[in-house]
Amino acid sequence: MHHELRMPCTEADVRKLRIGDHVTLQDRLFGIRDATQIAMFDQGRTTRLDLRGHAVIHTAPNVRRVDKRATNDSGYEAICVGTTTSDRMERFSRPLMEREGVRIIIGKGGLREQSQKAFAELGGVYLAIIGGTAALETTWIEAIEDVDLDDLNPESLWQFRIRDFGPLLVAMDSHGGSLYATVQAEAEARRAAALAKLGVA
């Protein structure tokens, strides 16, 4: 099933999403990364940007400084915006949702049990983007509208204007479903056979 979501969205919007569905996002997206979240949740820094009901993507883009103008209020132009491995940021999923009101996390490689619990309790989802396909992803970014915590550059908090961002795959939903957990469990179950074929007891 395919869903189109204009951002920001509601809890009801994300509760409708089930693993295996596809989602295309419109209008707005925020970029965050390791250093951004360490600053926000370990060092107590706050942001003036309003993330309530929004989607965040695990990223630190390649950008170019430009004169501020109507299409680039931030003073930055996107060169290449991609996605980083989400797993390192597992422990920040709950505070992102509880403190900042985030509904959607976009990343690659998946998140773990604590995020899964937070998605179920608070109403959130993880959307998988294909890692390493940043040239394509960049064509879905219209502009960098704003930036905060820019002393952490390139791991600033970025606000992107987006158009037809996706399709993205619902890989973890708010009903306990996780494609990663399923695939990983199946892979673990195949370990013994793989080792036996290698002649390893």
Q: Is the peptide bond before 8 cis (omega within 30 degrees of 0)?
A: yes
DSSP character at residue 38:
I
The length of the chain, given as a count of residues: 201
Integer angstrom CA distances of residue 27 from 56, 86, 126, 178: 13, 23, 18, 27
Nearest-angstrom CA–CA distance, 25 and 7: 7
Interface segment toward other proteins; rule CB under 8 A; list 9-17, 44-52, 80-88, 142-150: 80-88
Question: Would you count residue 185 as binding other proteins (CB under 8 A)?
Answer: no
Helices 113-122 and 93-100: crossing angle in degrees, nearest 10, is 20
Q: Among 10, 46, 71, 85, which residue interacts with other proteins (rule: CB under 8 A)?
A: 85
Binder among 109, 120, 123, 150 for other proteins (CB under 8 A)? 109
- Residues 143 to 172: which contact other proteins by CB under 8 A? 153-154, 169, 171
Question: Which of 143, 159, 171, 11 is CA-nearest to residue 78?
Answer: 143
Q: Is the dihedral of CA 118, 133, 63, 151 positive or negative?
A: positive
Does position 67 interact with other proteins (CB under 8 A)? The reply is: no
CB of 52 to other proteins, least distance (A): 26
Q: Mask 3-32, x = binds other proteins (CB under 8 A)?
A: ------------------------------
Distance (Å, whole) CA 127 – CA 143: 21
* CB 55 to other proteins: min, Å: 18
| Nearer residue to other proteins within complex by CB, 2 or 190 | 190
Contacts with other proteins, residue ranges (CB under 8 A): 35, 59-64, 79-85, 87-88, 108-110, 128, 130-136, 138-139, 153-154, 169, 171, 179-180, 182-184, 186-188, 190-191, 193-195, 197-201
